[in-house]
Copies of this chain bind each other. A is one copy, B any other.
Amino acid sequence: MANRVGVWIIGGLGNVSLCTILGARAAARGLTGKAAMVTELPEFRSLPLVPVGDLVFGGHEIRHSDVYTEAVQYQKLNGVPSRELVDTLKPDLAKVSQELRDGLLLNCGKPVAALANGRWSKGNKRELSLSEAVRAIQNDLASFVKRNGLRDLVVVNLASCEQPVDLKAMGSLKALEEAIRKNRRELLSASVLYAYAAIDAGHPYVNFTASLGSSVPAIEELALARGVPHMGKDAKTGETLLKTTLAPMFYMRNLNVLSWEGHNILGNRDGMVLDDPENAKLKLADKKGVLESILKNTDRFHTRVRIDYVPSMQDWKTAWNHIHFEGFLGTKMTMQVLWQGCDSMLAAPLVIDLIRFAELAHRTGFAGPMKHLGCFFKNPLGAKQHNMFTQFRRLVKYAARLAAVPAE
């Protein structure tokens, strides 16, 4: 029991969370291979990472349902994983359902608020002051740890992307704490408040989404003060992973990319929320910068990313990338990439990887942004390199260095 590590998911009934929990429990029970987990590559085999079977899940959620019901629904809509697997894991999912608590709605935008579905009249955190909300979150975390006898707890943000807010009130820890104290709800995002609560309580924090989370100066300051590792933001799961792998090819051949257009269609809740232009802003911003930084020669470069909600696609995101480039003697050529991936199935194994790396970092005394995890993010905190290979080499070097040190 003493070896168990908690995972607290903000957005506990979202698709990514469901796939994470299903995958972790399937792996724990030996029902699936370890494909798609980076931590299972030979390069990381000698690291003393927490076994997947030792992870215990709980979380905050704004909708009222349970993990099994949602997993069955997910399976019906998307065809994966097999129905047999979902049914086999029913008891495990039931345990997680018991660890779900009401989530916090704060400046999350209309589409997210709509999901909450009017069931929030009693016991939810909307009516709490910000200070009370922080305390309530911390109580939820503490009782989860105690109830399950956990030796550590990692908090992961998997909630839908928020709308941008002014950053002023988050420019320093002092400003942030003042805003909380004075209950200035209009100045803060839920993701920042969660990050504050988690890190203040000494828990490693990972922001898997494009929301602000721990990326603001106030939280960076707090993490160093509390000696807590954290990382984000916006996991690199599909199209951006492709871009940061493929763009270097054009650079290494000195081919002049004229335009790179990306059209994404998807039909999950994430897609529905991003259909609101305000909620899409942070996400599109994260997606856009990466190419310029790799291609360099971008005088005439044009790029645009579109994310369109197409209900029938459900969680199967399809991306068309059209790359127009100029080669020798001004010859214009074209590459097109069609990516058809199951969005949450691409994301979920990386959530597990990040939990394992964050827990390890905490255990080995690391504090602040885990820059060695840059290869997992579209907008990696403190590590502006986007080239996927350079990022991966950094992670491999980190692992090699750590493996050379005797584990505690």
Q: Please report A residues at the B interface, Cβ cutoff 8 Å.
A: 19, 22-23, 26, 32-38, 40-41, 76, 79-85, 241-242, 245-246, 248-249, 251-256, 258-259, 261, 263, 265, 300, 302, 304, 306, 308, 310-313, 318, 320, 322, 324, 326-342, 345-346, 348-349, 375, 388-389, 392
Contact = CB atoms under 8 A, between A and B. Distances in A.
B261 A310 contact: yes
A302 B311 contact: yes
A312 B306 contact: no
Contact of A35 (B26, B254, B346): B254
A259 B263 CA distance: 15
A329 B22 contact: yes
Contacts of A241: 249, 253
Contact of A81 (B26, B331, B392): B331
Given A79-B80, A81-B329, 16 more contacts: A19-B328, A19-B329, A26-B329, A33-B256, A35-B326, A36-B327, A41-B252, A80-B330, A85-B329, A245-B246, A252-B392, A254-B349, A302-B311, A320-B336, A328-B345, A328-B348
Nearest to A256: B35
Prevailing SS type, chain A contact patch: mixed
A251 B156 CA distance: 25
Contacts of A256: 33, 35-36
Contact of A322 (B83, B246, B320, B392): B320
B336 A337 contact: yes
A51 to B, nearest CB: 17
A392 B41 CA distance: 23
A265 B334 CA distance: 13
Contacts of A322: 265, 318, 320
Nearest to A303: B310
Given A322-B318, A337-B336, A41 B327 contact: no
A71 B375 CA distance: 42
A79 to B, nearest CB: 5
11 contacts: A80-B329, A258-B312, A263-B320, A302-B310, A302-B312, A306-B308, A312-B332, A320-B322, A328-B346, A333-B345, A338-B338
A329 B23 contact: yes
Given A246-B245, A249-B241, A308-B261, A330 B33 contact: yes
A259 B311 contact: yes
Contacts of A246: 245-246
A314 to B, nearest CB: 9
A348 to B, nearest CB: 5
Contacts of A335: 242, 337-341
Interface centre among A36, A302, A337 (most CB of B within 10 A): A36
B320 A349 contact: no
Given A81-B329, A340-B334, A312 B259 contact: yes
Contact of A38 (B253, B308, B330, B375): B253
A254 B82 CA distance: 21
A230 to B, nearest CB: 22
A278 to B, nearest CB: 17
Contacts of A23: 328-329
Contacts of A392: 252
Contacts of A324: 310, 312-313
A197 B71 CA distance: 52
Nearest to A22: B329
B333 A340 contact: yes
A35 B255 contact: yes
Q: Which of A84, A258, A300, A312 has the most CB of B within 10 A?
A: A312
B327 A345 contact: yes
A83 to B, nearest CB: 5
Given A322-B265, A327-B341, A336-B338, A38 B249 contact: no
Contacts of A304: 308, 310
